[in-house]
Every structure is written in C-alpha cells, then in structure tokens.
Amino acid sequence: MVGTEHLTMRREGATLVLTLNRPEAKNALSLPMLVGLYDGWVEADEDDAVRSIVVTGAGGAFCAGMDLKALAGDKGMVGQEYRDRLKADPDLHWKAMLRHHRPRKPVLAAVEGYCVAGGTEILQGTDIRVAGESATFGLFEVKRGLFPIGGSTVRLQRQIPRTHALEMLLTGRPYSAREAVGVGLIGHVVPDGTALTKALEIAEKINACGPLAVEAVKASVYETAEMTEADGLAAELKRGWPIFDTDDAKEGARAFAEKRQPDYKRS
C-alpha cells in the first residue's frame, strides 16, 4: 500500500480505507489523487485479505470535483509528473472515478462536507453511501458551462427517480444530505464527523460474511440490472449455484450448527 501525495491508503482490519487527501482544496481532483484512487481499487481487488473498501476525504470534505483553477490556467492539473501513467492508460482517470470500472469488492463512501461535481460522480460508482448531516451534494457542471461527463447523465437516472436526476443535472443546485437521502442518492445520514465510523461499521458486517458469496452477490446485482426478469433470473442461477459448492458455504453451515463464527478461507 503506497498511495500518493493526494491519496492515502490504510487498513482497518479487512477494510482498505482510501482517503482523498488534498484538504486545502476541499479534495478537488488532481492527477496524484486519480492515480492513487485507481491504484487503490487494484490493490483491493488483488489482495484477498481485503474484503471491502471505504473511500472518504480528509479535512471535513469528500471531493469538490475538478480543480477548475488549474483547468483555467496554463499549468494544467497538479501532479504533471504522473502524466506517463495517463499516457500509458488513457482511461486511468475514468477508472479512478469508477466511471466504467467496478471493483469486485464492495465499495462504501463516507462523506463529510462537499461532495459535488466530480465528487458526486465518484459517489455514483460506490455501492453503499453514508454522509454527515452537513454534507452537500450536487452536479454543478452546467452552471460553469460544462458537462458532467463522469457518467452522471447515464447512471444518475438509474439510481434515483428520473425527475430528481434531471433536476439535479439541469439546475446545478446543491442538495443537502437530507435531500440526498430522500431521493435515494445516499443510504444513511449520521451526525457530522461520524460518517467514516458508520461506514466502517457497515464494512465490518460485510467483512464477516463469506467473501466469495459477497462478491458474487455484488456481481449479480450489477450484471442483471438491465436484463429482463427472465434473463436476470437465469444469470443469477449461473452466478449463484457455484457458491453452494465452495468450502466457505460448507463452513458457514458448520459454524451455524456449532454456534460459532465462521472462518472463511475464500475457497
């Protein structure tokens, strides 16, 4: 676990915590942050000891989106020394923002403060979302004459009712945490300063479950989302039946019968 100057990685048990770490800019996106995020997703998926991921922000903010000051200037984004990584993989920044990259481990977002523009777009790539009561959400791009090209015109209408999605996209106005939970953008509102604690509590519950089962369930939910019911049910059987033949499934049954915690081995 290495991280970058704008993205830190640390382990909390079986959870990998990725922290957007540019608080002086409300964690506005930078090349070091994007590279660090992408490396974090890869690290989590390649390490069998990691069973969940929590992404959060330092300094009381989640992410204020793209660094517009740098974008407007002639120096480009902070961290140009990472340009070779982007040159080698032109999609790296999109993968970092979870636009068309889905980690196989569950991803939880712990939001405090601003989670706007690119921050709200990253949020849409996460699976479970917790926010402090003073958190602010929104897609501000149209107010700056820009387009929310991180996936929001496609994903948002699939995650919340279309009328709310269009209002958020077309007005560029801020949404409170209470509004966000009301339309279904987030799942939990908690006292300020406790979003990470709550996300880690949820992650710990996930970590206690069979990892092969957890990953198969997540994969099934996403791959069947746009299928017909008949096709989805067929795909679910194809994904789910092999889980019953795993050693972990047998261990789960034994642990239940013996009234103890299961010891899953990913086998």
Q: Please say if the pLDDT value at position 52 is more than 50.
A: yes
User: Tens digit of pLDDT for each residue in 95-137?
Assistant: 999 999 999 999 999 999 999 999 999 999 999 999 999 999 9
CA pair distance 263, 251, nearest whole angstrom: 7
The confidence score (pLDDT) of residue 66 equals 85
- Tell me, rounded to whole angstroms, the distance of Cα 13 from its chain centroid: 19
Question: What is the C-alpha separation between 238 and 252, in angstroms, rounded?
Answer: 21
- Give the residue numbers marked as catalytic: 121, 141
Mean pLDDT for the stretch of residues 52-64: 97
Average pLDDT along the chain: 93
Distances (CA, A) of 144 to 121, 173, 199: 16, 12, 32
Residue 72, pLDDT > 80, answer no
Which residues are bridge partners to 18 per DSSP? 9, 55
The predicted model gives 190-205 an average pLDDT of 98
Its pTM stands at: 0.93
Alpha-carbon distances of 82 from 4, 21, 25, 33, 85, rounded to whole Å:
10, 17, 19, 10, 6
Q: Is residue 86 very low, low, confident or very high in pLDDT (cuts 50, 70, 90)?
A: confident
Q: Is residue 73 pLDDT above 60, yes or no?
A: no
pLDDT at 166 over 90: yes
- The whole-number pLDDT of residue 2 equals 81
What is the spatial distance between Cα 174 and Cα 148, in angstroms, rounded to a whole number? 15
Coil, helix or strand at residue 75: coil
- Residue 60: other Cβ atoms inside 10 A: 16
Q: Which amino acid is at 107?
A: V
Q: What is the pLDDT of residue 79?
A: 63
Alpha-carbon distance of 34 to 55, in angstroms, equals: 13
C-alpha dist (Å) from residue 154 to 13, 118, 150: 35, 14, 9
Of 196, 213, 187, 155, the closest CA to residue 10 belongs to 196
Percent of the chain with pLDDT over 90: 88
Residue 4 carries which DSSP code? B
Range name among 28-37, 51-60, 104-113, 214-223 with the lowest pLDDT average: 28-37
Q: Using CA atoms, how far apart are residues 4 and 1, in angstroms rounded to an integer?
A: 10
The count of C-alpha atoms lying within 13 angstroms of the C-alpha of 237, restricted to the half-sphere facing its C-beta, is 5
Is residue 26 over pLDDT 50?
yes
Residue 76 reports pLDDT greater than 90: no
Residue 174, burial from CB neighbour count under 10 angstroms (0-12, 13-18, 19+): middle
Residue 85's pLDDT band (boundaries 50, 70, 90)?
A: confident
167, amino acid identity: E
Confidence of residue 81 (pLDDT cuts 50, 70, 90): confident
- The reported pLDDT for the residue numbered 39 is 96
Residue 250 — pLDDT band, cuts 50, 70, 90?
very high
